[in-house]
Protein backbone atom coordinates (compact mmCIF):
# COMPACT_ATOMS: atom_id res chain seq x y z
CA UNK A 1 0.00 0.00 0.00
CA UNK A 2 1.30 3.45 -0.91
CA UNK A 3 1.89 5.92 1.95
CA UNK A 4 0.88 9.55 1.41
CA UNK A 5 3.24 12.29 2.45
CA UNK A 6 1.95 15.26 4.46
CA UNK A 7 2.31 17.55 1.41
CA UNK A 8 0.28 15.17 -0.75
CA UNK A 9 -2.46 15.07 1.89
CA UNK A 10 -2.58 18.88 2.00
CA UNK A 11 -2.71 19.08 -1.82
CA UNK A 12 -5.42 16.41 -1.91
CA UNK A 13 -7.51 18.23 0.69
CA UNK A 14 -7.23 21.68 -0.89
CA UNK A 15 -8.22 20.63 -4.40
CA UNK A 16 -11.76 19.90 -3.20
CA UNK A 17 -14.21 22.64 -2.31
CA UNK A 18 -15.62 22.79 1.22
CA UNK A 19 -19.00 21.81 -0.24
CA UNK A 20 -17.56 18.61 -1.77
CA UNK A 21 -15.80 17.76 1.49
CA UNK A 22 -18.99 18.33 3.50
CA UNK A 23 -21.02 16.18 1.10
CA UNK A 24 -18.45 13.37 1.21
CA UNK A 25 -18.46 13.37 5.02
CA UNK A 26 -22.26 13.40 5.06
CA UNK A 27 -22.28 10.44 2.64
CA UNK A 28 -20.03 8.47 5.01
CA UNK A 29 -22.40 9.01 7.94
CA UNK A 30 -25.51 8.37 5.84
CA UNK A 31 -24.17 5.11 4.39
CA UNK A 32 -22.59 3.77 7.59
CA UNK A 33 -25.49 1.32 8.09
CA UNK A 34 -24.92 -0.15 4.62
CA UNK A 35 -21.32 -1.11 5.45
CA UNK A 36 -19.65 -3.24 8.09
CA UNK A 37 -17.62 -0.32 9.45
CA UNK A 38 -16.99 3.37 9.00
CA UNK A 39 -13.77 2.49 7.16
CA UNK A 40 -15.72 0.31 4.71
CA UNK A 41 -18.04 3.28 4.05
CA UNK A 42 -15.00 5.52 3.50
CA UNK A 43 -13.46 2.98 1.10
CA UNK A 44 -16.71 2.89 -0.86
CA UNK A 45 -17.22 6.66 -1.07
CA UNK A 46 -13.66 7.97 -1.62
CA UNK A 47 -13.39 6.72 -5.24
CA UNK A 48 -16.77 8.26 -6.04
CA UNK A 49 -15.52 11.65 -4.83
CA UNK A 50 -12.09 11.20 -6.44
CA UNK A 51 -10.00 11.43 -3.30
CA UNK A 52 -7.89 8.93 -1.39
CA UNK A 53 -9.41 6.92 1.43
CA UNK A 54 -6.99 8.52 3.88
CA UNK A 55 -8.02 12.03 2.81
CA UNK A 56 -11.70 11.23 3.31
CA UNK A 57 -10.89 9.59 6.64
CA UNK A 58 -9.10 12.79 7.70
CA UNK A 59 -12.16 14.86 6.74
CA UNK A 60 -14.45 12.53 8.71
CA UNK A 61 -12.16 12.62 11.78
CA UNK A 62 -11.99 16.44 11.64
CA UNK A 63 -15.78 16.63 11.36
CA UNK A 64 -16.06 14.37 14.41
CA UNK A 65 -13.71 16.67 16.37
CA UNK A 66 -15.53 19.80 15.20
CA UNK A 67 -18.90 18.39 16.31
CA UNK A 68 -17.67 17.03 19.67
CA UNK A 69 -17.93 13.37 18.69
CA UNK A 70 -14.16 12.90 19.04
CA UNK A 71 -11.54 14.49 21.28
CA UNK A 72 -9.02 16.83 19.70
CA UNK A 73 -8.65 20.32 18.34
CA UNK A 74 -11.46 21.72 16.28
CA UNK A 75 -10.95 23.47 12.95
CA UNK A 76 -11.39 27.03 14.31
CA UNK A 77 -8.84 26.34 17.06
CA UNK A 78 -6.33 24.95 14.58
CA UNK A 79 -6.64 27.88 12.17
CA UNK A 80 -6.63 30.61 14.82
CA UNK A 81 -3.72 29.37 16.94
CA UNK A 82 -0.37 31.09 16.30
CA UNK A 83 1.42 28.05 17.75
CA UNK A 84 0.11 25.63 15.12
CA UNK A 85 1.48 25.63 11.61
CA UNK A 86 -0.83 24.04 9.06
Q: Is 34 exposed, middle or buried (0-12, 13-18, 19+ CB in 10 A)?
A: exposed
| pLDDT tens per residue, range 3-34 | 545 454 455 546 899 999 999 999 999 998 99
Phi/psi-derived region of residue 22, left when phi > 0, alpha when psi is between -120 and 50, beta in every other case: alpha
Distance (Å, rounded) from C-alpha 43 to C-alpha 48? 9
| pLDDT tens per residue, range 34-71 | 999 999 999 999 999 999 999 999 999 999 988 887 65
The pLDDT assigned to 55 comes to 94
Q: CB count, 10 Å around CB of 17?
A: 9
The pLDDT assigned to 15 comes to 81
| CATH numbers and ranges of domains, the chain | 6-80 (1.10.10.10)
Q: Is 6 exposed, middle or buried (0-12, 13-18, 19+ CB in 10 A)?
A: exposed
pTM to 2 decimal places: 0.67
Amino acid sequence: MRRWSHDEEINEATKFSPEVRERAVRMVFESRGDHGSQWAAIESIAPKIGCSTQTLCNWVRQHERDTGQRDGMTHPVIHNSPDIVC
